Amino acid sequence: MAELRHNPLSGQWVIVHVEDSWGPEKYEREDHSILAKATCQFCPGREFFTPPEIEAVRRSPPGSRPNSPGWQVRIIPNKFPALRIEGDLDLRHDGMYTLSNGIGAHEVFIETPAHERNLADLNDDEMFHVIDKYQSRLNDLTKDRRFKYILIFKNYGESAGTTVEHPHSQIIALPMVPQYVAQELEGTQAYYDRYQRCVCCDMIAQEYRAGTRVITDNAQFLAFCPFASGYPFECCIIPREHTCRFDTMNDGEKYALGNILRETLAKIKGCLWDPSYNLYIHVAPVNDGPQEHFHWHIEIVPKLMRTVGLERGTGFFSVPTDPDHAARYLREAAVIARR
């Protein structure tokens, strides 16, 4: 029989198929052939096709000119932004409805100059620079007091919503806290009010005690498959020590994060035949006073199946793979260290 499991962070109930749990071989595979390199606007030498860069890591040669080749990581405004930086928010009413102007920021991290590479293939140094730039853009966008939430996310592969092959992730600054994050904040607060403890810290302790859902860890971070995963082979990467701060991570922590993120992605790639995935970093809201109870984390959701009507209509998810089973596959997947 399936189990109904409650996610103590988000409040969601999930149907988990603990019997007849599906292994990786049961899911559809997706082809990620490189098709668009010849016309890729994110490749070196085509910098003039994109909006001017906001920041870059320039390494070969160091100090090469902006908007020219020589970068390792390059950040540009999204050419087709969902929201725009210019203007007033102008929160207003139309009868019973509330609306505002579509103010926000939307930028793209080009993670590597190499079109054919993959975040999972970067070496530790390259990963460090990606994480470092995530932090740098987060901190810069936080200065704009109109923004209440900043989301860093990545869509990899066509079925996860990518329209550009070249390895990239995105950052979006929003004037409202998105609903899923608001739910996690509520879940965190409710747990704290009840037990005077952080729900994520308790989760980490229990995951270490059980051990069955642990994928990998290092001194600073744990990667595991959540007990009430909403998607098969869902992974969570979380700082082992309580912190709501992504913005103050030091170089050692950023290096450790890059390391476990790369390892987890490489395991997903190896185990599930390079699936499409979505990755998002859930940090606390910004410009809204301290959110000390919140424990930031990364959610990685391989796109192995379609979202169906039940989930779309209710938020009630049905997951064919037991998270214990998923974690065992991922734990045992061998990956090459890339130093």
Report 130-149 residues binding a second copy (CB under 8 A).
none
Question: With binding defined as CB under 8 A, does residue 279 bind a second copy?
Answer: yes
Question: With binding defined as CB under 8 A, does residue 236 bind a second copy?
Answer: no
What are the angstrom distances between the C-alpha of 103 and each of 92, 106, 154, 169? Answer: 14, 10, 21, 20
Stretch that binds a second copy, among 70-78, 132-140, 166-174, 289-297 (CB under 8 A): 166-174
Task: Put residue 211 in one of left, alpha, beta given phi > 0 → left and psi -120 to 50 → alpha.
Answer: left
CA angle 9, 15, 17 (to 5 degrees): 125
Question: With binding defined as CB under 8 A, does residue 39 bind a second copy?
Answer: no
- Residues 12, 139, 189, 220: which binds a second copy (CB under 8 A)? 12
Give the rounded distance of the alpha carbon of 194 from its chain centre: 29
Question: With binding defined as CB under 8 A, does residue 291 bind a second copy?
Answer: no
Distance in angstroms (rounded) separating the CA atoms of residues 143 and 159 = 34
Nearer to a second copy, 212 or 218 (CB): 212
CB 1 within 8 A of CB 19: yes
Strand (E) positions, 182-220? 214-217
Question: With binding defined as CB under 8 A, does residue 31 bind a second copy?
Answer: no
Strand (E) positions, 141-267? 149-156, 168-174, 214-217, 221-224, 235-239
Stretch that binds a second copy, among 31-39, 119-127, 128-136, 153-161 (CB under 8 A): 153-161
Distance in angstroms (rounded) separating the CA atoms of residues 150 and 211 = 32
Stretch that binds a second copy, among 29-37, 93-101, 121-129, 234-242 (CB under 8 A): 93-101
Secondary structure class of 65 (helix, strand, coil)? coil
Question: With binding defined as CB under 8 A, does residue 180 bind a second copy?
Answer: yes
CA angle 23, 29, 30 (to 5 degrees): 150
Question: With binding defined as CB under 8 A, does residue 175 bind a second copy?
Answer: yes
CA 283, 285, 287, 290 torsion: positive or negative? negative
What's at 316, amino acid-wise? F
Question: With binding defined as CB under 8 A, does residue 87 bind a second copy?
Answer: yes
- Residues 45, 51, 52, 161: which binds a second copy (CB under 8 A)? 161
- Residues 82, 211, 248, 288: which binds a second copy (CB under 8 A)? 82
Nearer to a second copy, 43 or 319 (CB): 319
Kind of pairing, strands 13-16 and 317-319?
parallel
Helix (H) or strand (E) holding 298, with range, is strand 297-302
Provide the minimum distance between the beta carbon of 155 and a second copy in the complex, in angstroms, as a whole number: 4
Provide the minimum distance between the beta carbon of 307 and a second copy in the complex, in angstroms, as a whole number: 6
For 55, counting Cβ atoms within 10 Å of its Cβ (0-12 exposed, 13-18 middle, 19+ buried), the class is: middle
Question: With binding defined as CB under 8 A, does residue 178 bind a second copy?
Answer: yes
Binding mask 202-231 for a second copy (x = CB under 8 A): xx--x--xx----------------xx---
Report 94-133 residues binding a second copy (CB under 8 A).
94-103
Closest CA to 112 of 75, 66, 157, 148: 75
Question: With binding defined as CB under 8 A, does residue 198 bind a second copy?
Answer: no
Residues near a second copy (CB under 8 A): 1-6, 8, 10-13, 15-16, 82-84, 87, 94-103, 151, 153-155, 159-161, 170, 172, 174-176, 178-181, 183, 199, 202-203, 206, 209-210, 227-228, 278-280, 282, 299, 301, 306-310, 312-316, 318
